[in-house]
Chains A and B, each alone.
Chain A
Amino acid sequence: MSKIVLKKQLSNDVYLMKLACPLIAEERKAGQFVILQLNNEYGERIPLTIADANEQEGTITIIFQVVGKTTTDLAHMNEGDEITTVVGPLGNPTHIENFGTVVCVGGGIGVAPMHPIAKAFKEAGNHVITIIGARTKDLIILEDEMKEIADELIVCTDDGSYGRKALVTEPLKEICERDPQPNRVIAIGPPIMMKFCSETTRPYKVYTEVSLNTIMVDVTGMCGGCRVNVGDEVKFVCVDGPEFDGHKVDFDNMMARLNSYKDIEQEKHECNLDKQAKAKQSS
């Protein structure tokens, strides 16, 4: 059981929560995530990155976007409520060292997991360039927090409603063309964005790390549901990852696998909305 000690709405469908999880707060490192379940009988286990933690308070911060059943239910919970299951910290921590110049690219909700990583890179002595992007102005999160850390901050929106009108790959390409080149890129966001970031840096041979958000069930390496093709190998994201060399990841396969249950979830979601609407009508 973990209590929700703080809840904040960051944008239309993005929420931040602080959860009381003293042990996880003590052990976690940048790049790790938790599994969360709202009901032990019928609930689903969903992975969410630890966006921040406070060891003294014994809390961790999660930032999530409402996309389906569990995230919707979670968004309906309030401060003081208890979450049945929070497991973590999971996955391998991000490999942090002083590489020189590091470009941190965060897309949409991916800015949340990027935040502690950018912070850790900065603390390790890197020159940190941060690119954050979203579809539109309302979806930009953690801009101030990133500004505090980054030596350079570039904000872009797809529709030009804020910052530069561009996809994150545009400034990324420009940075790769600088002399000297950046030493490392790390990209976190929707799979399609990570794919194109990797494609952007490939010709410049800049090592690009991506953090994969595959479907997961047990997170102990038991089910293989999280598997991805990385180069010639099959890797399990929960125990081998979540971070991999973006130039080797088979993103197309990963994206197809992420959609395995799309039809079922859609159907169920609509069915639930129907039920709610009917309940409203009859009350």
Chain B
Amino acid sequence: MSHKTLEELHKDAQKVFNELKQNADSLKPKDRIKIPAQEMPAQDPVERATNLEEVALGYTPIQAMVEAMRCIQCKNKPCITGCPVQIDIPRFIDEVAKGDFQAAINVIKENSLLPAICGRVCPQETQCQEVCTLGKSLKDVDKAVAIGRLERFVADWEREQGKIVPPKVKPDTGKKVAIVGSGPAGLVVAADVRREGHAVTIFEAFHKMGGVMVYGIPEFRLPNSIVDTEISTLKAMGVEFKTNFVVGRTRKLTDLMKKDGFDAVFVGTGAGLPMFMGIEGENLVGVFSANEYLTRANLMRAFDREQSDTPIYKSKRVAVLGGGNVAMDSARMAKRLGAEEVFVVYRRTEKEMPARVEEVAHAKEEGIVFHFLNNAKRIIGNEKGRVNAMECLKYELGEPDASGRRRPVVIEGSEFILDVDTVIVAIGNNSNPLIAQTTPEIETNKWGNIVVDDTQKTKADRVFAGGDIVLGAATVILAMGEGRRAAESINKLLAG
């Protein structure tokens, strides 16, 4: 596949745009369907595999308008139902097509508070774009209107123009709300509750705000500066931040209300607690959870070996276990940190991989090697207790399981050795146990997730929860949706 530069893609778009311009108002669906889908400009794969800069460069304004013209403005608007926060997609896209980007961002902001982020990391192909009529007619979900890219485009446009206006805040009510965790769930609750005039303090265990968006998802997919912009907006609204504060340890959750006078608490502490496979050799030196590897690289900035005090393992050959976004991020990060060969070992086939299609494609372009229908059996160490190799087993697909996916079945005697010095385990997370351990009033289910009712309220008085701590490892947009619902409940509680 040849790589097209931003300039080339822009030129192509310009040509199409010039042709469409004359009769832009009278385009029929059958004309729109013929408009070529706009490819996302990206950094050259060879170059980017050695830097941390963002891979996807974003549409040019002309590309955005051309892409927006593809939308046929369906009467039944299936895309809206595909979006967990029901953005009025056809309406914002129509504004993009007309070139009124300000109007477009205004439409999005009626429902979503973090469009620059969701536009980048939402699994669009299984949400808004999966049900897009255009994609259906062209029998290819990749040919759906690129809703996420357009959303990203207008959000970036607003930021780059310096046009972000913090939402209006009502006069002070004298009520105080504590938010635990600064991931997407917490940030959204902060904005929505603060708008009503309540004082809001976010408590964050780390020294930086943003949760997984800053310590997990790498810079090359979601630059920290984008998250920082959202934080500054909250700051401008008068939200207070207390970093380096571990609720449950620095202060018990209930003491925030009893001793510090908060009227309600929202818990958005995220997933945490990485799962391991429970196989031999898993605690050898050189075996990391994806969380640890990515936190060292991103948050602690270990990619900058010169400056950072936090070390990161020097690897030549890396195996990543798992098939989700977290696995893709780990593999691509390992490559960027200088690994010569990186293998993703996944026990099903490419079709079943939960990672976003775009991320898998990017990983392949960057030279990541995929071992499908393979799984680790044990990790082998040398005399110093360091990883030397990994023994794998081959699998085949059997009958579908409860999730509807065909279950991988081991092929007896298929053992083989993969020569690696590092293993990164990216098979998921259990829930962060700290709040539950230190707050007996809160009820959790057998996976450690906090149990809430349909207003996001926990079993504890005046305590709400949402995001990964409730859903298990989920997505940014779902965390955001839960945050909005929780904020609504909190606002209702405090108004009464």
Contact = CB atoms under 8 A, between A and B. Distances in A.
Interface of A: 23-24, 27, 37, 39-45, 69-70, 84-90, 217-225, 227-229, 234, 236, 239, 250, 252-253, 256-257, 259-261, 264-265, 268
A87 B246 contact: yes
Interface string B258-290: 000000000000101110100000111110110
Nearest to B278: A234
A223 B274 contact: yes
B285 A256 contact: yes
A222 B274 contact: yes
A42 B226 CA distance: 20
Interface string B405-446: 000000000000000000000000000111001000000000
B385 A252 contact: yes
B314 A23 contact: no
14 contacts: A42-B308, A44-B309, A70-B309, A87-B244, A87-B246, A87-B250, A88-B249, A218-B295, A219-B205, A222-B270, A222-B291, A224-B288, A224-B289, A260-B285
Nearest to B275: A224
A70 B311 CA distance: 12
B302 to A, nearest CB: 9
B283 A44 contact: no
B313 interface: yes
Interface in B309-349: 309-311, 313-314
Nearest to A250: B283
Contact of B207 (A84, A221, A236, A260): A84
Contacts, number: 121
B273 A225 contact: no
Scoring A23, A222, A223, A252 by chain B CB atoms within 10 A of each residue's CB, the highest score goes to A222
A91 to B, nearest CB: 8
Contacts of B196: none
Contacts of A37: 207
A62 B232 CA distance: 35
A86 to B, nearest CB: 7
B434 A223 contact: no
B296 interface: yes
Contact of A225 (B288, B308, B437): B288
Nearest to B276: A234
B300 A45 contact: yes
Contacts of B270: 222
Interface string B114-125: 000000000000
B170 interface: no
B17 interface: no
A87 B311 contact: no
B208 interface: yes
Interface centre among A42, A43, A223, A260 (most CB of B within 10 A): A223
Contacts of B100: none
B301 interface: yes
B304 interface: yes
Q: Give the one of A27, A88, A217 with max B CB within 10 A.
A: A217
Contact of B432 (A220, A225, A268): A220
B295 to A, nearest CB: 6
B285 A218 contact: no
Contacts of B274: 222-224
Nearest to B286: A260
Given A87-B245, A225-B289, 13 more contacts: A23-B251, A40-B207, A41-B307, A88-B249, A88-B250, A90-B246, A222-B274, A222-B295, A222-B432, A228-B283, A239-B437, A257-B385, A261-B313
A262 B326 CA distance: 27
Contacts of A250: 283
A27 B251 contact: yes
Contacts of B205: 87, 218-220
Contact of A221 (B250, B273, B310, B313): B273
A69 B311 CA distance: 11
A240 to B, nearest CB: 9
A268 to B, nearest CB: 8
A222 B309 contact: no
Nearest to A68: B309
Nearest to A225: B292
B28 interface: no
Contacts of A264: 311, 314
B298 to A, nearest CB: 11
A176 to B, nearest CB: 30
Nearest to B429: A222
Interface string B371-389: 0000000000000111000
Contacts of B245: 87
B99 to A, nearest CB: 40
B207 to A, nearest CB: 5
B206 interface: yes
Which 3 A-B residue pairs are closest in the complex by CB-CB distance?
A: A256-B385, A44-B309, A223-B292
A225 B246 CA distance: 18
Contacts of B246: 87-88, 90, 219-220
Contact of A27 (B250, B289, B300, B311): B250
Contacts of A27: 249-251
B58 to A, nearest CB: 26
A227 B288 CA distance: 10
Nearest to A265: B311
A264 B251 CA distance: 36
A259 B246 CA distance: 28
Contacts of A44: 300, 308-310
A264 B72 CA distance: 57
Contacts of A85: 207, 243-244
Nearest to A236: B273
A41 B304 CA distance: 11
Contacts of A234: 276, 282-283
Of the candidates B245, B434, B437, the one having the most CB atoms from chain A within 10 angstroms of its own CB is: B434
B249 A257 contact: no
Given A88-B250, A224-B276, A225-B288, A239 B433 contact: yes
Contacts of A86: 244
B206 A218 contact: yes
Contact of B311 (A84, A221, A222, A261): A261
Contacts of B273: 221-222, 224, 236
Nearest to B181: A220
A89 B283 contact: no
A220 B207 contact: no
B250 A223 contact: no
Contact of B272 (A69, A70, A222): A222
A202 B226 CA distance: 56
B289 A41 contact: no
